[in-house]
Chains A and B, each alone.
Chain A
Amino acid sequence: MLLKDEVGMLQRIPLFTGIESSKLKLLAFTSDRVSYSAGQILFRQGDEGDAAYVILSGSADILVDSDSGPIKVAEMVPNSIVGEIAILCNSSRTATVRAATPLEALRIRKDHFLRLMREYPEMTIEILRVLADRLSHTTADLIDARSAK
């Protein structure tokens, strides 16, 4: 997959829709193309967060440690971004991400990502929107869980 195809994929990610394509090209160029075989770990829960990943092809499982071993909480498909929370909050990884199939991804380094956010407010707002959206989903899930008790 070439740089220009990657740019096309990035454009399809909601986070980056508002950003002009030349900047996305720069982001793609300065990111590392990484590939994983099925079962390989992208990062582990508790690791220091140093990068976010955009899935280009293949899929990945999001696993959270629990007393009864890891639980799969979500699956990431192409065009989704994963690992952005840890680099935004300077915290350690909140989950483990494991490739479910052979996986191609774009690895965006933390400092590059933060730099982009500083330089493009529209991207920052988009990220806020996505996060707020996730929070409202989580809240709804929590209410469901509580009321189900």
Chain B
Amino acid sequence: MEPSLARYIWTHTKKQQVWILMIVLLSMIPYFMSFDLPKLIVNGPIQGKGFEQPGTTLPFMRLHYNLPFIGEVQFFSGFQLDRTATLFALSLVFLLLVIINGLFKLYINTYKGRLGERMLRRLRFDLVDRVLRFPPIYFKRVKSAEVATMVKDEVEPLGGFIGDAFLQPVLLGGQALTAMLFIMIQNVWLGMIAVVIVAIQIVLIPRMRRRLIVLGRQRQLTARALSGRVGEIVDGIGAVHVHDTSNYERADIAARLGLIFKIRFDLYQWKFMVKFLNNFLAQLTPFLFYMIGGYLAIQGRLDVGQLVAVIGAYKDLPGPMKELIDWDQDRQDVQVKYQQVVEQFTVEGLIAPEIGALTIDDPDPMANPLSAVNLSIADDGGAMLLNRISLQIKPGETVALVSTATGGAEALAEAFARLNWPDSGRVASGADDLLELPEAVTGRRMSYASSDVFLFQASLRDNLLYGLKHAPLTSVPYDGAAADQRRWNIDEARRSGNPDVDIHSDWINYASAGATGPHDLFEAVRRVLDAVVLSRDILDLGLRSSADITRHTELVGRIVELRAALRTRLEHEGLSGVVVPFEPGAYNKEATIGQNLLFGAAAGSELADKALAANPYFASVLRQAGLDLTLYEMGMEIAKQAIELFADLPPDHQFFQQLAFMSPDEIPAYETLLQRLKNRPHEAVSETDRAMIITLSFAYIEPRHRFGLLSDELMSKIVAARNQFYENLPPELQNAVERYDPAKYIAAATVMDNVLFGRVGNNHPDAPDRIRSIVYDILDELGLYAELLDVGLDFNVGSGGRRLTGGQRQKLDVARALLKRPDFLILNRPLSALDQRMQDTVLRNVLETARCDGHSPAIVWVVTNPAMAMMFDRVIVFDAGQLVEDGTHETLLAGNGIFKELLS
């Protein structure tokens, strides 16, 4: 990148800078004209110069020039105006000039603002583009948060400056010079005074500001380090808590903030000091004008109009001067910032732009063998990971890389994936150096998965398909306002040197996954998910999430069929008693009283959980149904029992898991409430207390809690109350609850709850597992398996994929590598988080799946356990950075080498 900011700006904005300069120069004409006017107005119509005789008229707007050789030429003889009319006319001209000057300013400011923003966009893009092209080693040394803060915050002030970079000195310099010249014309001596003071300002102020720049640089570096540390704390929060080092982190942050405070305070002190001096100098000049100019006027050596004009002109001098000095300060400041950022982004061995160039068409398969030639790789400390290794992987071959602890097989896998660059020797595909092949080839024809997985904070689906998004493959048709917006996007992107490819295009390369479009991609997805044994996990996620009813229309539409199939199947398996279905006219004994009353899924906060009993409408329904007293007494009984059972236990006792009514920390509150309400008539109890007690009854399930509180009469009353509740549901609660309807899908409930549409009996300990596998069977039979998997694929994996387990993340990474159907599949201890049995299963599946439908990629697998090598065509053994054995499993087993040793 350009080391000099001025040159960077000039290279990219020459034309615009020249244009705006011309506009600025043009704007000088009315600006200068507006200086002369006050003198004309005061001396002419106000003081009466030229209007000595009453009734005198003078020409206005007479255009006449003295041309050489021709003499005086008059273009327009002007209007004859008297004194008052001239005053009005000149004043109006003054107003006109004010407007013209204002309009010029508006245009110039808008123009340069836009220019600045475009350049900022370009600069930020350039920076991120560089991040995408940094060599891998760079990322071992930088903190991601520091890079982010450089791109986002540190270059931000540059945007404001870029528009002013060349304009401001010209504009302000021009203004200052104009004002100065005008003062000079009026009176040389007064002009000299102004010149001297300005000279002092120009010399002194930047000198004082030098310290500001030093402080500014320190501020930038400390702030960047701070954001790096904050990022580190967030990423390493586990380590912080595990080691009780949160106070160490607090101390570190406090120390950094202290330093930043000190630097910033120093900056303020200096800034205001300089400001004070600058203001003082600016005010010194008018003092001298009044004193000396006044003295000259008294002496009669200066006319009053001249003095007024000088003072008037001077009024316009300190502004531009001050701004000019500010501009210079800004210039130095942003130059420093720019240099600091550019320094960080200037890295040796940047990946050439051609390597990552956008390529729409798929490259030819990599038919040449992959080889390492005299390959040596050292780690950051200089220790050799691989020492002059030469080997060749033929297309279609499956190779296990077995390695002792210091073997270096992982480094070789990373070298094949271009994540670790050779120190000497090379990795090659046929005759081509692998590092010189475009990513369009290596990224599509090869894939790589390792134990170190990175997932983006997006849905499972997005993460799985991420490896297929190489280029925009469709052009999205836009019309109306969207088309205008798209045109504008393209235009602006080009002006800022950004690419104009459409992010909303379909980037998924279906062909690469062996599909033809979105409709049959699922088959490929299912195949790879089955291969890595992840489908079941995703189905479970799907069952526990609520489906998007606009997308999963089939599931929603066939819910009745699904529920019926489940009933039939349960009956068939003799499990019909296990699930008690929700029936609009019946009490469901396995559900809580609250669920039986509401008989729907709460979709908002108004009727959810603890808010239900306190809801005024709900309370009124209970009153009308004659349930309020019963449920209150029931709540009192539950409170009594619960406190009797649990009051003596410490709050962390595991028995509390069984107590559904209240949490351990609520027990004391209920204890005092119980004392207070004992023997008090129901009518005398306040609404809040009543709600607190009634809430307890809502969690009660007779077969589970067995307090013997539920009678047939109570059950029928509850069913009646349920109907009453829905009959008069006020409009504001219409959207707060979705009533259970056997013929309808409940959007607010999970898929599992929707299919079950009932409650699993509490006295069947193994029922939930059995029912779940039955549900999977039924979904498969009805062809809804895909739909459920799709619901599961909507699951957001969280920041860095942390909502998945380590094993699930690794499986997903392998699935992603497999989905591409590469020619070379490099797997670097990809399943280290799984137990050996699962690793073996996935290994077997992957070898099989990779070779389906006539495709036969080469597979290079760095195995975690030498026993896994049995399943490969060829085994290569590494020890101490050397290739020590290479052959088939049988030959190595027959020999007496390290491999045999490792196996035993």
Residues of A within 8 A of B (CB): 1-4, 6, 22, 25-26, 28-30, 32-35, 37, 51, 107, 111-112, 115
A-B contact pairs, 21 of them (CB 8 A): A2-B706, A2-B707, A2-B708, A3-B705, A3-B708, A22-B645, A25-B645, A26-B646, A29-B658, A29-B705, A29-B706, A30-B655, A30-B658, A32-B704, A33-B763, A35-B763, A51-B765, A107-B765, A111-B654, A112-B654, A115-B653
Residue B703 is within 8 A (CB to CB) of chain A in the complex: yes
Q: Name the B residues within 8 Å of A112 (CB-CB).
A: 654-655
* A42 to chain B: closest residue by CB: B765
Q: Name the B residues within 8 Å of A26 (CB-CB).
A: 645-646, 655
* B702 to chain A: closest residue by CB: A2
Q: For residue B551, give the distance in angstroms from its CB to the closest CB of chain A.
A: 39
Contact with A along B753-782 (1 / 0, CB 8 A): 000000000111100000000000000000
Q: For residue B572, give the distance in angstroms from its CB to the closest CB of chain A.
A: 15
Distance between Cα atoms of A51 and B766 in the complex (Å): 13
Distance between Cα atoms of A6 and B705 in the complex (Å): 12
Q: Name the A residues within 8 Å of B705 (CB-CB).
A: 3, 29
User: A34–B706 contact, CB under 8 A?
Assistant: no
Q: For residue A88, give the distance in angstroms from its CB to the closest CB of chain B.
A: 18
Q: Name the B residues within 8 Å of A4 (CB-CB).
A: 708
Distance between Cα atoms of A25 and B647 in the complex (Å): 13
Chain A facing B: main interface SS:
helix
Q: Which of A3, A4, A28, A111 has its CB near the most chain B CB atoms (within 10 A)? A: A3
User: B706–A33 contact, CB under 8 A?
Assistant: yes
Contact with A along B636-665 (1 / 0, CB 8 A): 000000001110000001110010000000
User: B707–A115 contact, CB under 8 A?
Assistant: no
Q: Name the A residues within 8 Å of B706 (CB-CB).
A: 1-3, 6, 28-29, 33
* A116 to chain B: closest residue by CB: B655
Q: Which of A2, A25, A28, A51 has its CB near the most chain B CB atoms (within 10 A)? A: A2
User: B645–A29 contact, CB under 8 A?
Assistant: yes
* B707 to chain A: closest residue by CB: A3
Q: Name the A residues within 8 Å of B703 (CB-CB).
A: 33
* B708 to chain A: closest residue by CB: A2
Distance between Cα atoms of A28 and B658 in the complex (Å): 11
Distance between Cα atoms of A30 and B707 in the complex (Å): 13
Number of interface residues of B (CB under 8 A): 18
Given A26-B655, A112-B655, A115-B654: A34 touches B708 (CB 8 Å cut-off): no
The 8 A-B pairs of least Cβ separation, nearest first, read A2-B708, A3-B706, A30-B658, A30-B655, A35-B763, A34-B763, A33-B763, A26-B645
* A3 to chain B: closest residue by CB: B706
Q: Name the A residues within 8 Å of B644 (CB-CB).
A: 22, 25
Counting residue pairs across A and B whose Cβ atoms lie within 8 Å, the total is 47
Q: Name the A residues within 8 Å of B704 (CB-CB).
A: 32-33
Q: Name the B residues within 8 Å of A28 (CB-CB).
A: 706
Q: Which of A1, A2, A29, A35 has its CB near the most chain B CB atoms (within 10 A)? A: A29
* B654 to chain A: closest residue by CB: A111
Partner of A32, one of B653, B655, B765: B765
Given A25-B645, A26-B645, A26-B655: A35 touches B708 (CB 8 Å cut-off): no
Q: Name the B residues within 8 Å of A35 (CB-CB).
A: 763-764
Q: For residue B717, give the distance in angstroms from its CB to the closest CB of chain A.
A: 21
Q: For residue A37, give the distance in angstroms from its CB to the closest CB of chain B.
A: 8
Q: For residue A7, give the distance in angstroms from its CB to the closest CB of chain B.
A: 10
Besides A29-B705, A32-B762, A107-B765, 11 other A-B contacts (C-beta < 8 A): A3-B706, A4-B708, A26-B655, A29-B658, A29-B706, A30-B655, A30-B658, A33-B762, A35-B763, A35-B764, A112-B655
Q: For residue A22, give the distance in angstroms from its CB to the closest CB of chain B.
A: 7
Q: Name the A residues within 8 Å of B707 (CB-CB).
A: 2-3
Distance between Cα atoms of A49 and B703 in the complex (Å): 25
* B644 to chain A: closest residue by CB: A22
Q: Name the A residues within 8 Å of B653 (CB-CB).
A: 115
User: A32–B763 contact, CB under 8 A?
Assistant: yes
* B646 to chain A: closest residue by CB: A26
Distance between Cα atoms of A81 and B658 in the complex (Å): 22
Q: Name the B residues within 8 Å of A22 (CB-CB).
A: 644-645
Contact with A along B674-710 (1 / 0, CB 8 A): 0000000000000000000000000000011111100
Q: For residue B388, give the distance in angstroms from its CB to the closest CB of chain A.
A: 52
Distance between Cα atoms of A33 and B658 in the complex (Å): 13
Distance between Cα atoms of A112 and B653 in the complex (Å): 10
Q: Name the A residues within 8 Å of B764 (CB-CB).
A: 34-35
Chain B residues 535 to 585 lying within 8 A of chain A, measured CB to CB, are 574
Distance between Cα atoms of A41 and B134 in the complex (Å): 63
Q: For residue A83, give the distance in angstroms from its CB to the closest CB of chain B.
A: 12
Distance between Cα atoms of A115 and B644 in the complex (Å): 19
Distance between Cα atoms of A20 and B574 in the complex (Å): 40
Distance between Cα atoms of A33 and B654 in the complex (Å): 18
* B645 to chain A: closest residue by CB: A26
Q: Name the B residues within 8 Å of A115 (CB-CB).
A: 653-655
Chain B residues 617 to 649 lying within 8 A of chain A, measured CB to CB, are 644-646
Q: For residue B510, give the distance in angstroms from its CB to the closest CB of chain A.
A: 46
Q: For residue A101, give the distance in angstroms from its CB to the closest CB of chain B.
A: 16
Q: Name the A residues within 8 Å of B645 (CB-CB).
A: 22, 25-26, 29
Distance between Cα atoms of A84 and B574 in the complex (Å): 29
Contact with A along B244-256 (1 / 0, CB 8 A): 0000000000000
Q: Name the B residues within 8 Å of A51 (CB-CB).
A: 765
Q: Name the A residues within 8 Å of B658 (CB-CB).
A: 29-30
Contact with A along B485-511 (1 / 0, CB 8 A): 000000000000000000000000000
Distance between Cα atoms of A104 and B893 in the complex (Å): 58
Q: For residue B508, give the distance in angstroms from its CB to the closest CB of chain A.
A: 45
Q: For residue A53, give the distance in angstroms from its CB to the closest CB of chain B.
A: 10
Distance between Cα atoms of A1 and B705 in the complex (Å): 11
Q: For residue A21, give the distance in angstroms from its CB to the closest CB of chain B.
A: 11
Q: For residue B765, give the distance in angstroms from its CB to the closest CB of chain A.
A: 5
Q: For residue B557, give the distance in angstroms from its CB to the closest CB of chain A.
A: 36
Q: Which of B574, B703, B764 has its CB near the most chain A CB atoms (within 10 A)? A: B764
Q: Name the B residues within 8 Å of A107 (CB-CB).
A: 765
Distance between Cα atoms of A30 and B646 in the complex (Å): 11
Distance between Cα atoms of A29 and B659 in the complex (Å): 9
Distance between Cα atoms of A37 and B704 in the complex (Å): 18
Q: Which of B704, B705, B707, B765 has its CB near the most chain A CB atoms (within 10 A)? A: B765
